[in-house]
Amino acid sequence: NAGVTQTPKFRVLKTGQSMTLLCAQDMNHEYMYWYRQDPGMGLRLIHYSVGEGTTAKGEVPDGYNVSRLKKQNFLLGLESAAPSQTSVYFCASSYADRGLDGYTFGSGTRLTVV
Amino acid sequence: DQQVKQNSPSLSVQEGRISILNCDYTNSMFDYFLWYKKYPAEGPTFLISISSIKDKNEDGRFTVFLNKSAKHLSLHIVPSQPGDSAVYFCAASKWTARQLTFGSGTQLTVLP
């Protein structure tokens, strides 16, 4: 039972480059989330999805796009990376109809934009 | 404007003693509160939660207290163990919103 898997684990990008972070979950969770973690800021919600084919903006969505074409996958895209997007990115998933205790996080992607 | 605040970035405690981690929130719509624990190079893992209809929830060595009038919650770990050394995040949500708002975290170090 893999839970939530994020790829890649590390990446260095040059300013202006694009990339996609992949999140995959095998728990049949309806909801999926992308967070970023920055020193002194905690985890901030970027985008989330309440089901296949749906996405919504979180607290800090600018500069990111997402897609959820399949229930088990949630993609986070950076079209033109900026140094301010240097962060650790966490994906999470949860059931729609159970307690909030059920958030499961991936192990994170450390992204550096130079 | 941070809606969930953890004002202590770090805390050191002797093994066997009590660890108390604090969290304040400003949004009165929050009605569910959680604590997550995070080790380096891992994602956060759920530790304990409390609904706004309660003022205390206990799970083994971990107890969470909620003071709604003060908009304050705390996590007590008794007795503290070296394996408890981690970053602890407080999180809050409105139950129907199903989105967690996190604090900035507190690094707990339990000294042997």
Candidates A64, A69, A35, A33; CA nearest to A52 is A69
R_g (Cα) of chain A, nearest Å: 13
Could you tell me the pLDDT band of residue B95, with boundaries at 50, 70 and 90?
confident
Of A45, A90, A99, the CB nearest to B99: A45
Span B28-57, pLDDT tens digits: 999 999 999 999 989 999 999 999 999 999
Could you tell me the pLDDT band of residue A99, with boundaries at 50, 70 and 90?
low
Give yes or no for residue A16 having a pLDDT over 80. yes
Q: Is A86 left (phi over 0), alpha (psi -120 to 50) or beta?
A: beta
Of B95, B100, B104, the CB nearest to A103: B100
Cβ(B104)–Cβ(A100) under 8 Å? no
What six digits make up the tokens of B10? 């770090």
Show which of residues 3-42 on chain A sit within 8 Å of chain B, judged by CB atoms. Answer: 4, 31, 33, 35, 40-42
Cβ(A85)–Cβ(A63) under 8 Å? yes
Give yes or no for residue A2 having a pLDDT over 80. no
Is the CB of A105 less than 8 angstroms away from the CB of B41? Answer: no
The pLDDT value given to residue A98: 64
Q: Which residue of B has its CA nearest to A41?
A: B104
Cβ(B72)–Cβ(B42) under 8 Å? no
Which of A57, A91, A100, A101 is the best residue to mutate to test the B interface, defined by the most B CB atoms within 10 Å of its own CB? A100
Q: Is A105 on the interface with B (CB under 8 A)?
A: yes
B105 neighbourhood in chain A, CB within 8 Å: 42
Is the CB of A100 less than 8 angstroms away from the CB of B41? Answer: no
Give yes or no for residue A106 having a pLDDT over 70. yes
Place of tokens 């950076």: A78
Average pLDDT estimate for A21-49: 93
Give yes or no for residue A23 having a pLDDT over 90. yes
A48 neighbourhood in chain B, CB within 8 Å: 99
Average pLDDT estimate for B96-101: 81
Lowest mean pLDDT among A40-44, A83-87, A96-100: A96-100
Q: CA A112 to CA A5: how far, in whole Å?
A: 20
B43 neighbourhood in chain A, CB within 8 Å: 4, 90, 92, 105-108
DSSP symbols for B12-79: EEETTS-EEEEEEE--TT--EEEEEEE-TTS--EEEEEEETT-SEEEETTEEEEEETTTTEEEEEESS
Average pLDDT over chain B reads 94
